[in-house]
Structure 1
Amino acid sequence: MCGIYGSTVRYDDDVIFQKLARADFRGPDYSGFEHSGLVTLGHNRLAIVDLDHRSDQPFTYNHLKIVFNGEIYNYKTLRVKLTALGYRFTTDSDTEVITAAFLEYGENCVNHFNGMFAFVIYNTITHQLFGARDRLGKKPFYYAHCGLDFEFASQPSQICIGRNVTLNEQAINEYFIWGYVPEPKSAWNEIQKLEAGHSFSFDCNTGIFRAKKYWELDLMHAEHYEGSYQEAQADLTRLITNAVDIRMHADVPLGVYLSGGIDSSLVASLAAKNFKNVKTFCIKFREKGFDESVFAAKIAAHLQTDHHTIECNKEEGLELIESFGRYYDEPFADSSAIPTLLLSKYTKKHVTVVLSGDGGDESFLGYSRYKWFSMVDQLFKCPLAVRKKLADIISISPNYRHKLIAIGICNPEIRSLYGLMLGGLEYSWLENPSIGLQVPFMDIWSSKSTSVLQKLSAFDTKTYLNGDINTKVDRGTMAFSLEARAPLMDHRVVSFAQNLPDSYKFKYGVQKRILKDILYQYAPAQLFDRPKSGFTMPLNHWFKNELKDHVMDNLSINELKNIPGINVQKSFDMINDHMSGKWNRATQIWKLLVFTQWLKNQSSNPISTYQVA
């Protein structure tokens, strides 16, 4: 787990030092760069496997040089195969295995990797770059390309140093809808994201850049699972057990995040089953309804793990909000990033690698919106005129959720409803919210051969899991030089889940049915007999009480005028509606707060004026 950097632009060395220093938290164990041929390659290393300096990067293997961020979990198996083919290795690292695999398999090497990764290989003979990002987008990859100039990095602010960049207002509009900037855009016009499941090639001689999709959730041609429920349960147990086991390998201390929910409890159970003295970590909130730490403690006691509980309060949360921009770079409005940062800060004192339960909700239909949406889907079979009349009746209710339903069913298409629902449905405070809904992956909804639940699962995997969850976890953990691994995001598990019948995942109102039945082999079912809480902060309460002054100071009329794409007066009225208790606008207020803070960070840290050498 590290930070990578590279450029065909020949900057002065002091500029390269600045660019690497900007992301030093991603890799504090070693930082270095070298000019090689037509490229400068740089790396910040967090040593996880083969701690010896022989595995520092940029790394050289024959005529190839590589910078790599992530982990290849099956590298030992690949190394045995490549050794049999005549390749020789001088380290015990997965970095060296990637380069040998590239020599043997070419661009198809990515299909041999099971892991999370963003890497770039430079061929010193042909002056070609080849790089890739993992299937589900666990690791970030930003780049800027103009003619012969090509620059890439783990954090976009590294690319910003030394060049002029401009705000991408459409991307900002998308941020206000989704809470993050969806790929392939970034917050700047000049910088893009390499999409998850994509590789690329760049010819340093001609400036030709080509991106290529090497993996996809293929709903149209998926091989649907035909075994019984019991057979599926056995097959999935083997898959997840292996996914956990291969992620428990590290040359540094390792632990597990244990929230008390189904997903993290399953990961912790399998880890504790096969490994001794497993450390587990959870976070505690003082506010009732947001704290699952007591359940996590009971599960940890049952599993006999070395358990640690960290308390989150608004004072420390506010402190982290102030430094939020340093780690997240782009506007990012998932408020659970704050407890993620806090949990990572304290977890790092004990371990360097942590396993999480991320990915379970998307693949196994865990979110409450899936249950709600499967019911609303029936209403969309009615004509729009009928739905509008029904909405008029429902909207009379003072209930907040009823009002959201009334707004939602007036959308002409169910796919538009889902995009809006993720962010709160009501966007009258934006000047043109329709722009923000024009994102990739909407073609998933046009599939005729899949159920609405399969579409929801695939869509969330390509959007929410990739753009939100992965961003939150990568930046939140790397802020404190901590590596996070997610067994339920093993691509084998994700593909298997997509091919399962809906009833294996959601039946008789029971969500994540098959995961729960696997978990109950290791932990008593009564420990999980409670409503799903989620890893969220009590913003609704805080904004009307402890943080009210903070909100009103930072989102005054004058401050709101600096934000592009919003209606200032309607936004201010929306904030007042929240403060009066008329409507819960915590999600929208948080988006505005984060963006205002991000704008201030941009103005207080202007782009460097260093010149290209």
Structure 2
Amino acid sequence: MCGIYGSTIIYTKSQLQDKLERTKFRGPDKQGFKFLGDAYRPIIFGHNRLAIIDVDERSNQPFTYNNNIHIVFNGEIYNFKILKKQLEAKNYEFHTTSDTEVICATYLEYGEDCLKYLDGMFAFVIYDETKQKLFGARDRLGKKPFYYYINDKHFEFASQLSSIQLHHNNLTISNKAISYYLAWDAIPDPYSIFNEIKKLQAGHCFSFDLINYKFKDRVYWDIDTTIRNPYQGSYQAAVKDLDGLIRNAVSTRLFADVPVGVFLSGGVDSSVVAALATKTTNSKVKTFSVKFNEKGFDESIYAQKVANHLQTDHHIIDCNYNEGLDLIKNFSHYYDEPFADSSAIPSMLLAKHASEKVTVALSGDGGDESFIGYERYKWMKQVSILYKLPNCLRHAIAKTAGLMPYYKLKMIGKGLQQNDINSLYLASVTGVNMSWLKSDFDYTDVTEKKYLFHTNKNLYERLTDFDIKTYLNWDINTKVDRATMAYSLEARAPLMDHKIVEFAQSLPTHFKFKAKNQKRILKDVLYQYVPKEIFDRPKAGFTMPFKEWFKNELQDYVLSELDITSLRQIPNIDADEVHKMIEQHMDGSWNHYPLIWKLLVLKQWLNTTGKGYIIK
């Protein structure tokens, strides 16, 4: 896990050092850059290394293979040992034990088709000196970030936006991106907060011809929206097959030349990862969870029960508002564009303390999306019945609900005004009540809607596909990458192995959700190792007690940061309406903490990282 950087723009050594130093936290073990190309076609590659596999300096980057292949790489290739043996049989020679060298040889053997063979999480760029081109890619599910700037002959890329931002004089803040952020809590790919900087989308690769300066971006992996290869076996056979897939995904992700642990929340997803980690290693597994003192937020007791059963070396990290406030004040330094998932704070806290004992941590991310785990999926199925009623009757129900004095009923009433169930889901994930957002364009207009608005799959399957391409990619991956990298910790997600995702998509829906039993098959894998009784409780999310903190310990902070004068300086919002919503939160009549949090984050970013830039 590292931070990569590269450019065809000529910078001074001091400026390049600044760009690498800005994200040194991503890789503090070794920092370096290399001048490639020539005076006519200059190329600079830079790298901040977090040494995980083959920690010897021979594997430092930028890395050169066979004299003419140069690479900067962030991530891990989990099947690199298998690929290495196959390539050695084809007479390729290797001088390290790293996966970086294997990527280079795989590219030499298969060209751009090398991506078919790489199993892992990655963002890399190769400079092919012979062909005079840059070739790069981002992994299938978007675990690793990739930002780039392109303008004529100028091409610049990095793991984080801030490295490109430094020493750039022609960047402007995107007003459209601000509206996207306010609706989605994150900025959707391929956009960034700056008009001139883009994100390479998950499952995409690119080439940049250094002779004619043409940039080509293409898809190399995507979700199957038609289920061309449905699973043909029995349910019990599927449980066994899934067990094997997860066992293999966990086992390969435990490989490292540094200490490895597991994030354990006590939920199904992280518990199945922890359980199979204990089954695939001989050493005692270290597990980590966060504890909140606020009632209704502390799930650490369940994590402890799982840890006790699995006999892991368990560590509970206390989260209090003083430490939380410190993280909030430095949030923009690590999340270097606006990002509003409040669970980023406990994720940072978890990473901060786990990094004192391990350098790699496995997580349970991806289970809810692939195995129909979120409560909102069940709610959408129930509400879909109302869309079978005549429109006039549904609108009457919506109007009646909207007149009720209860916030949830009011939101249901607003939601039912949507034309169809797909539009309702889209509104539910962006915000049903968005009257406070003043936008000149349709913030729901994202290309990923195609995974939701089609008829090839049933409702559950379309919702999960859509969330894999949006929420998992834009939100979860961003949250985990920045939170862990802030403390030089590598996060690996076995349930996001693309083979598991593809397997889950091939399964009949009732294997995953039957008779109110969500994540059915994943649970049955887990119950082979951990007693079912531990999980007989309502599903809980990884959330912060911001609702209480904003009314109590952090009330003064909120009111000073978001007074009416400050609100009027924030783009694309109705300041007066937002001010009323903040007052409602403080007097306890409504819970508006998600809005308060996203405005705090945006204001902080505009006043620090975004200060001095024109918005257009």
Same fold (TM over 0.5): yes
Residues in 2 aligned to 1:158 and 1:222: alpha-carbon distance in whole angstroms: 42
Task: Quote how far apart the aligned CAs of 1:604 are.
Answer: 5.7
Residues in 1 aligned to 2:559 and 2:330: alpha-carbon distance in whole angstroms: 20
Write the deviation string for residues 552-607 of structure 1: whole angstroms up to 9, x where unpaired.
11111111122111111111112112222222111111111110111111256989
Residues in 2 aligned to 1:386 and 1:601: alpha-carbon distance in whole angstroms: 50
Write the deviation string for residues 155-213 of structure 1: whole angstroms up to 9, x where unpaired.
10111111121111111101111100000000000100000000000012211000010
Alignment partner of 1:445 is 2:449:
no
Equivalent residue, structure 2, for 1:572: 579
**Aligned equivalent of 1:203, options 201, 204, 209:** 209
Task: Quote how far apart the aligned CAs of 1:434 are.
Answer: 5.8
Residues in 2 aligned to 1:45 and 1:585: alpha-carbon distance in whole angstroms: 41
Equivalent residue, structure 2, for 1:363: 370
Task: Quote how far apart the aligned CAs of 1:322 are.
Answer: 0.6
Q: Which SS does the other structure have where 1:85 is aligned?
A: coil
Equivalent residue, structure 2, for 1:235: 241
Q: Which moved more, 1:383-392 or 1:240-249?
A: 383-392
**Aligned equivalent of 2:173, options 161, 167, 180:** 167
Residues in 2 aligned to 1:376 and 1:339: alpha-carbon distance in whole angstroms: 32
Q: Which SS does the other structure have where 1:33 is aligned?
A: strand
Residues in 2 aligned to 1:56 and 1:193: alpha-carbon distance in whole angstroms: 25
Residues in 1 aligned to 2:28 and 2:613: alpha-carbon distance in whole angstroms: 25
Task: Quote how far apart the aligned CAs of 1:388 are.
Answer: 1.6
**Aligned equivalent of 1:537, options 538, 544, 549:** 544
Residues in 2 aligned to 1:293 and 1:605: alpha-carbon distance in whole angstroms: 43
Residues in 2 aligned to 1:304 and 1:563: alpha-carbon distance in whole angstroms: 50
Equivalent residue, structure 2, for 1:16: 16
**Aligned equivalent of 2:428, options 421, 426, 432:** 421
Equivalent residue, structure 1, for 2:51: 47
Task: Show the 5 A alignment for 1:360-509.
Answer: 360-432=367-439, 435-509=442-516
One-letter amino acid of the counterpart of residue 240, structure 1? I
Q: Which SS does the other structure have where 1:527 is aligned?
A: helix
Alignment partner of 1:79 is 2:87:
no
Task: Show the 5 A alignment for 1:528-607.
Answer: 528-602=535-609
Task: Show the 5 A alignment for 1:137-152.
Answer: 137-152=142-157
Residues in 2 aligned to 1:569 and 1:204: alpha-carbon distance in whole angstroms: 52
For the 8 Å contact 1:165–1:190, the answer to whether it is kept is: yes
Residues in 2 aligned to 1:518 and 1:125: alpha-carbon distance in whole angstroms: 49
Residues in 2 aligned to 1:77 and 1:590: alpha-carbon distance in whole angstroms: 46
Equivalent residue, structure 1, for 2:269: 263
For the 8 Å contact 1:173–1:435, the answer to whether it is kept is: no
What is the aligned-residue RMSD (CA, Å)?
A: 1.3
Q: Which moved more, 1:347-356 or 1:393-402?
A: 393-402
Write the deviation string for residues 351-400 of structure 1: whole angstroms up to 9, x where unpaired.
00000000000001111101101111222233443222101222343333
Alignment partner of 1:155 is 2:166:
no
Alignment partner of 1:57 is 2:64:
no
Unaligned runs of 5+ in 1: 608-613
Unaligned runs of 5+ in 2: none
For the 8 Å contact 1:19–1:161, the answer to whether it is kept is: yes
Task: Quote how far apart the aligned CAs of 1:407 are.
Answer: 1.1
Alignment partner of 1:215 is 2:224:
no
Assess, with a 3 A threshold, how the Cα gap between structure 1 residues 552 and 242 changes in structure 2: closer, same or farther.
same
Write the deviation string for residues 313-332 of structure 1: whole angstroms up to 9, x where unpaired.
11111110011001110100
Write the deviation string for residues 127-171 of structure 1: whole angstroms up to 9, x where unpaired.
200000000000000000011100000010111111121111111
Equivalent residue, structure 2, for 1:98: 103
Alignment partner of 1:273 is 2:279:
yes
Aligned residue pair count? 607
Q: Which SS does the other structure have where 2:243 is aligned?
A: helix
Assess, with a 3 A threshold, how the Cα gap between structure 1 residues 151 and 127 changes in structure 2: closer, same or farther.
same
Residues in 2 aligned to 1:491 and 1:378: alpha-carbon distance in whole angstroms: 33
TM-score between the two structures when normalised by the length of structure 1:
0.97
Task: Quote how far apart the aligned CAs of 1:221 are.
Answer: 4.4
For the 8 Å contact 2:205–2:217, the answer to whether it is kept is: yes
Equivalent residue, structure 1, for 2:139: 134
For the 8 Å contact 2:452–2:465, the answer to whether it is kept is: no
Q: Which SS does the other structure have where 1:151 is aligned?
A: strand
Alignment partner of 1:524 is 2:528:
no
For the 8 Å contact 2:422–2:453, the answer to whether it is kept is: no
Equivalent residue, structure 2, for 1:610: none
**Aligned equivalent of 2:345, options 338, 344, 351:** 338
Residues in 2 aligned to 1:221 and 1:523: alpha-carbon distance in whole angstroms: 32
For the 8 Å contact 1:177–1:436, the answer to whether it is kept is: yes
Equivalent residue, structure 2, for 1:108: 113
One-letter amino acid of the counterpart of residue 587, structure 1? P
Residues in 1 aligned to 2:296 and 2:345: alpha-carbon distance in whole angstroms: 17
User: How high is the sequence identity, in percent, across the aligned residues?
Assistant: 55
Residues in 1 aligned to 2:99 and 2:272: alpha-carbon distance in whole angstroms: 27
Q: Which SS does the other structure have where 2:202 is aligned?
A: coil
Residues in 2 aligned to 1:552 and 1:316: alpha-carbon distance in whole angstroms: 20
Q: Which SS does the other structure have where 2:316 is aligned?
A: strand
Q: Which SS does the other structure have where 1:195 is aligned?
A: coil
For the 8 Å contact 2:231–2:506, the answer to whether it is kept is: yes
Q: Which moved more, 1:48-57 or 1:154-163?
A: 154-163
Residues in 2 aligned to 1:108 and 1:557: alpha-carbon distance in whole angstroms: 55
Equivalent residue, structure 2, for 1:246: 252
Residues in 1 aligned to 2:580 and 2:462: alpha-carbon distance in whole angstroms: 36
**Aligned equivalent of 2:322, options 307, 315, 326:** 315
TM-score between the two structures when normalised by the length of structure 2:
0.97
Q: Which SS does the other structure have where 2:178 is aligned?
A: helix
Alignment partner of 1:89 is 2:94:
yes
Equivalent residue, structure 2, for 1:32: 32
Residues in 2 aligned to 1:577 and 1:408: alpha-carbon distance in whole angstroms: 21
Residues in 2 aligned to 1:573 and 1:417: alpha-carbon distance in whole angstroms: 26
Equivalent residue, structure 1, for 2:5: 5
Q: Which SS does the other structure have where 2:314 is aligned?
A: strand
**Aligned equivalent of 1:181, options 180, 187, 190:** 187
Residues in 2 aligned to 1:591 and 1:325: alpha-carbon distance in whole angstroms: 12
Residues in 2 aligned to 1:206 and 1:452: alpha-carbon distance in whole angstroms: 46
For the 8 Å contact 2:173–2:613, the answer to whether it is kept is: no
